[in-house]
Amino acid sequence: MTTSPINSTDFRIEGKGYGPANELDHAREMLEKVLHLVDEPVLSAKALLADRPNNSVAHRCEAEASINVRGDTLRAHSFAPTMTEAVDSLKDKLRGQLRHRADRRRTESIRKVTEEGTWRHGSRPSDRPGFFDRPIDER
């Protein structure tokens, strides 16, 4: 696969709450790895990391990302006890969405027009005759 045309400076990573700066670096590396899987132009990418100080909640770390690939927006959201686990889960979710998108695009390009007079679910529409301006008397 080829690398994506987006640079690491073109996407935003924001952090809310408290936490070490290496978590933002880990999220940046995660996004770079995911973006290298894309063969099409990536218009934008952003991630948001939030660590809530409430210790009574089991999954207090939140990670979410949004990637715009050639007009299609892929979003993922994950919660985990630690920020590293949340970011890794987010990476897996985004990879799955990218694979699904690639498979969907591949099958759409394979579909062909069926034989004359038949129709199958998912077939491309057949060519229809052009407009014929019929005189009023013949309508």
Confidence (pLDDT) at 120 = 67
Long-range contacts of 72-79 (CB under 8 A, 24+ apart): 72/101, 74/98, 74/101
Interval 40-69 mean pLDDT: 86
- Which residue bears the tokens 């069926």? 114
- Which residue bears the tokens 């969907």? 104
**Identity of residue 132:** F
Confidence (pLDDT) at 58 = 78
Top-confidence residue, 120 or 47: 47
Read off the pTM: 0.68
Confidence (pLDDT) at 9 = 46
Average pLDDT, the chain: 80
Can you list the alpha helix ranges (DSSP code H) found in the chain?
Answer: 22-35, 83-110
Is pLDDT at 27 greater than 60 in this prediction? yes
Is pLDDT at 72 greater than 50 in this prediction? yes
What phi-psi label fits residue 13: left (phi over 0), alpha (psi between -120 and 50 degrees) or beta? beta
With vertex at residue 132, the alpha carbon angle to CA 131 and CA 135, rounded to the nearest 5 degrees, is: 140
**Is the CA virtual torsion 19, 51, 79, 34 positive or negative?**
negative
